[in-house]
Structure 1
Amino acid sequence: MFKLGINFEACFPNEERSTLEEYLSGIDKSDLLKMGSFFLGFNTEKSRYSDIIHFLQMYFSSENSDFAQTIYSNILQYVENESYPLSFYEVPYPVSSLRLFEFIFDHIPDEQETTKTNQEIEQDTFKAYVLLNQITITERDIKSTQIREENNLAFTAAQALLQISFHNNDIINFRVEKLYECQFKRALFYFEFLSEREDCQALLEAFYAHYEVADYKDYLKRLFGIVQAVLMMDKESHVEIHLEEQESMAFIDKHVASVDESITEVDFLKVRSNPLYKFEEDKYRIISPLFTIEMIYNGLFFRLKAINNQLPNTDKVTGFYNLKTYQFSEQYVLSKLLKEIYGNRYIQKSGSVLDGVMDGAPDYYMRNGKYIHIYESKDILISKESKQSFDYRDLENELKIKLFENENGSPKAVRQLVETIRKILNGEVIYDPNIPLTRVQIFPILILHYRMFNAAGLNNVINTWFVSELTRLRDLGLDISRVHDLVIIDVETLMFNKDALIKRKITIQNALLEYEKYYLRFNLANARPRPRSQEEVNKLIENSLLPFSFYIDNKIEKLGYQRSGKDLLEKASVLFEEE
């Protein structure tokens, strides 16, 4: 359920707020860091502490019972004047938790000692947290609204929701089991891909030497030792790792945030890279469970890139970024996944095959009779400046540059898909000359490779560009009536649901049709049961803007499919094979 953060003014309506420095003064830094990692240990979904009463009961001791009761009364009064009921509000907010930890790590002096009483510590640290909620949620919304009003900007429901959701979507919306499975598989695929290339051998050898491991299997096994602490969490709290072996400590030290450098970044880039910190000689604490899992694959490219940059020119892998985004992500991973899902049925052409046949071909092509699926794959990221900007136009401009048309006017994913559709409808596709043009139905699919793009509203915004561009074909006299809406699928969702798709619990074809009908072409007039209030209307519209990942993950589970993890176990078994 959609949640709203409780801010400072809700808890202390008549109190002038102080600064984070003041609230966090007089408290030992190690205790503050422990508290910061405690907040980051809360579940992002179905947390016990999402309930405000449970949170206040957990956070405050009996000596602060009157203080906590006053806060609760203030919150009830605040909610009475807002649009949503109390059940929509909670105190913990992952972005505030990350900013709290970073502030403590960077700005609290190492020598700071405790001078406040326990009663004062509970009150002041709570105030610090809800102050961050005020800054990261309430004031962000105020600034965004101000920009919109000053520039007379009118947003569609999809644009409005995208502005609200995109900047924090990858931090607050994830499933641990899905994240771990896909991060592990992608890391394994990446190492296998690099190992098959002669020009990457020097890089891999330098990587193994730096981390003091025998090979990538040894590296992933040791990394699993770190991540396992997150997977085995049995309560919502901070996670500690205690080690005795010097070898393990040397390995984990290379993944630790250093006290010698600041970790504050607009989008938490340094915490993503080093999501642990060392608090005693042989003891470590996980800063972010999310970033700890994501360092398996998401952080791997950046660790390899750093080592590649230090290699002599004769050993350096040239075009290392393009190697990853194009040859690995777009050709190796996507082709492997789709070939497994579609099996040996239908007409299928991978991007590497098509590139040798025709310029401007899609990254993958499948035809089953009159049904064609065309894929464009883009392994891209959005800059932290655009992602975190208060001005929605910054985000949409960068999305257009990377997914519609770049600064030089070169077509990107949306325009590339439309051009492929033009060629199909004109009978120009030489790699499949037997298309039944009078009956053909075309499904355009955009594959993206990072979870940040699973933001509510994004598919609808991109599809609007696609539909607008598609009308150019109609103006050319082409029949576009059997061209379907563009659907965005992130590669991890494809990977996570691969077995269910192979077993045809649901087909890609039917999933695309259903998502198009009930989401991209949602019509309030057809809603059953009929909404009885504006709140129910808003909820239906909001649900219709959810990403394909949300739809397909839940759809497959509602169909009764039980994910066995068999594919993951088979992939992981290679780490333990005897050489």
Structure 2
Amino acid sequence: MFFSSENAEFAETIYANILEYVSSTEKPLEMYEVPYVVSSLKLFEFIFDVIPNDQETTKTNKEIEQETFKAYVLLNQITITDRYLLGNQIKEENNIRLTPAQALLEITFHNNDLINFRVEKLYECQFKRDLLYFEFLEQRDDCKDLLVAFYQYYEVTDYKDYLKRLFGIVHAVLMMDKESHVEIHLEEQESMTFIDKHVANVDEHITEVDFLNVRSNPLYKYAEGKYRIISPLFTIEMMYNGLFFRLKAINEQLPVIDRVSGFYNLKTYEFSEQFVLSKLLREIYGNRYVQKSGSELDDFIDGAPDYYMRNGNYIHVYESKDILISKESKQSYDHRDLENELRVKLFENERGSAKAVKQLVETIRKILNGEAIYDLNIRLNRVHIFPVLILHYRMFNAAGLNSLVNKWFVQELATLEALGLDISRVHDLVIIDIETLMFNRDALMNRTITIQNALLEYERDYLRFNIANARPRPRSEQEANALLEKSFWPFSIFLDNKVEKLGYRRSGKDLLAKVNVLFEDEEE
């Protein structure tokens, strides 16, 4: 599909060279690709940043095809081969030996969110989060001016109207074939005006801050009323992930007196960490057990967890962090840059303030010390405590991350043992992304599997994996290595697969009910 018939000889030569190369490697042909997604995004950024919009070419179609292919080969060398070589050089020069978890994290974190995703999960969760975000903003008096300006800019009546029109763009991606590109052709001026405001503008430089502009504007207009999808992934993520940036831009243009102050903290703390997490866990746990949200706990104690649940002798404590990792650390060839930023965001910041891991350990200390005055019926000699870290971006579903962060947790937990506290019934820390909770909400609500059992199984089979206990026993070193690598998988993959293996069928009824909200007024 890459070459036209006039490049048949060129294509045959390339294909023969690829087959010769693959024959000398361990992986099959199906594992290789030329249009690697990161290279595609870098190529598109280069075109927007360097090539003038009125640039004309004297090259033939045959030449353009060959040179585009060569550009991909060069970009693949930079984004894959050179990355691997420079990373190894840094480790050799600094005598660094990585643990298996660190090595996997170094390999996967920089591109995990770009290549590992399920379209149906991504779409369902982006839509639900989008709807929740608008519902949250609509409830707040300090956001009324912002929403009015937002609706005026996009020429819609309200958020339901906005989401209906956005749904039309995203639907084209959901219907696409795996090997095809997607075009959208419009005739109505109203629709063109709306979609033009979600199009990357070739007169503006696309920043290299983790493809931020492409994420926010993943469409390219190549003729009047005709558009092409730059990134199917970013088109779906435009629904929620891109919404914050669009709202932020409009908020900054409002008169100072009308602006929403602390808009970033409003989204990361009050919306993500309080509104969404509390609502979701209340639905999953139901009207059972002792449950308290972070806002409820703040009335009892300073430094309270973001959510607390006790079922008899089993306690779940949650910390939630709506954070991102900078592009510089994410794409760095030196794994220490990433690990240092992760520690600052999830363990302890530059000023010595405790972050998620240390906050969870402090909550555990208070529970074991009898200082959890918000729950007076804890039997300290029998209680089991399960610490959970909720993160709000898929980039953290990278192999090795949970193992690395849990190691910090275990080391910090040892300080409690030194104080004389019994930590034998404190379980490993599990990282769960918010979209995995959303995607499996119904299965958790109807108890196809409980959070309790999921945490126990992930701890036993993943975080505490021991090859000696593997069943069935690996028959070769290759099988043993595969099992070891699987043990570093994120909780998201484990839970999605587990729910489906237990026979749960994802009907989509909950999503349909949410989508129907957008059309209620029309039905009336």
Same fold (TM over 0.5): yes
SS of match in other structure, 1:59: coil
Q: In the alignment, which of 402, 406, 411 is matched to residue 459 of structure 1?
A: 402
Residues 195 and 443 of structure 1, relative CA distance in 2, 3 Å threshold: same
Residues 91 and 309 of structure 1, relative CA distance in 2, 3 Å threshold: same
Distance 1:381 1:230 in 2: 26
The range that moved more, 319-328 or 373-382, is 319-328
Distance 2:455 2:117 in 1: 22
Task: Output one character per residue of 1:538-563: Cα deviation in whole Å (capped at 9) or x when no partner.
Answer: 22221111100001011111111111
CA contact (8 A) 1:406 1:412 kept: yes
The range that moved more, 499-508 or 62-71, is 62-71
Q: In the alignment, which of 406, 422, 426 is matched to residue 479 of structure 1?
A: 422
- Give the corresponding residue for 1:96: 39
CA contact (8 A) 2:53 2:202 kept: no
1:476: how far off?
Answer: 0.9
- Give the corresponding residue for 2:128: 185
The range that moved more, 310-319 or 163-172, is 310-319
1:505 pairs with 2:458: no
Q: In the alignment, which of 494, 507, 521 is matched to residue 564 of structure 1?
A: 507
Residue identity opposite 1:501 in structure 2: L
Residue identity opposite 1:303 in structure 2: R
The range that moved more, 190-199 or 520-529, is 520-529
Mapping of residues 119-518 of structure 1, within 5 Å: 119-518=62-461
Distance 1:290 1:333 in 2: 23
CA contact (8 A) 1:103 1:264 kept: no
Residue identity opposite 2:123 in structure 1: Y
Residues 282 and 63 of structure 1, relative CA distance in 2, 3 Å threshold: closer
Distance 2:375 2:171 in 1: 48
Distance 1:191 1:344 in 2: 26
1:74 pairs with 2:2: no
1:266: how far off?
Answer: 4.5
Q: Alignment length, in residue pairs? A: 522
Task: Output one character per residue of 1:335-367: Cα deviation in whole Å (capped at 9) or x when no partner.
Answer: 000000000011100111001111111100000
CA RMSD of superposed structures (Å): 1.6
1:114: how far off?
Answer: 5.2
1:160: how far off?
Answer: 0.6
Residue identity opposite 2:408 in structure 1: W
1:467: how far off?
Answer: 0.5
Distance 1:63 1:529 in 2: 53
Question: TM-score scaled to structure 1, two decimals?
Answer: 0.87
Structure 1: tracts of 5 or more residues without a match: 1-57
CA contact (8 A) 1:389 1:395 kept: yes
Structure 2: tracts of 5 or more residues without a match: none
The range that moved more, 102-111 or 500-509, is 102-111
1:529: how far off?
Answer: 3.1
SS of match in other structure, 1:374: strand
Task: Output one character per residue of 1:2-48: Cα deviation in whole Å (capped at 9) or x when no partner.
Answer: xxxxxxxxxxxxxxxxxxxxxxxxxxxxxxxxxxxxxxxxxxxxxxx
CA contact (8 A) 2:53 2:203 kept: no
1:68: how far off?
Answer: 3.3
1:190: how far off?
Answer: 0.7
Residues 61 and 295 of structure 1, relative CA distance in 2, 3 Å threshold: closer
SS of match in other structure, 1:349: strand
CA contact (8 A) 1:266 1:388 kept: no
Distance 1:318 1:262 in 2: 28
Distance 1:324 1:114 in 2: 46
Distance 2:253 2:209 in 1: 27
Distance 2:212 2:6 in 1: 39
1:539 pairs with 2:504: no
Distance 1:318 1:128 in 2: 45
SS of match in other structure, 1:348: strand
Task: Output one character per residue of 1:158-192: Cα deviation in whole Å (capped at 9) or x when no partner.
Answer: 10110111111111011111111111111111111
SS of match in other structure, 1:366: strand
The range that moved more, 525-534 or 295-304, is 525-534
Distance 1:263 1:513 in 2: 45
CA contact (8 A) 1:158 1:457 kept: yes
The range that moved more, 207-216 or 226-235, is 226-235
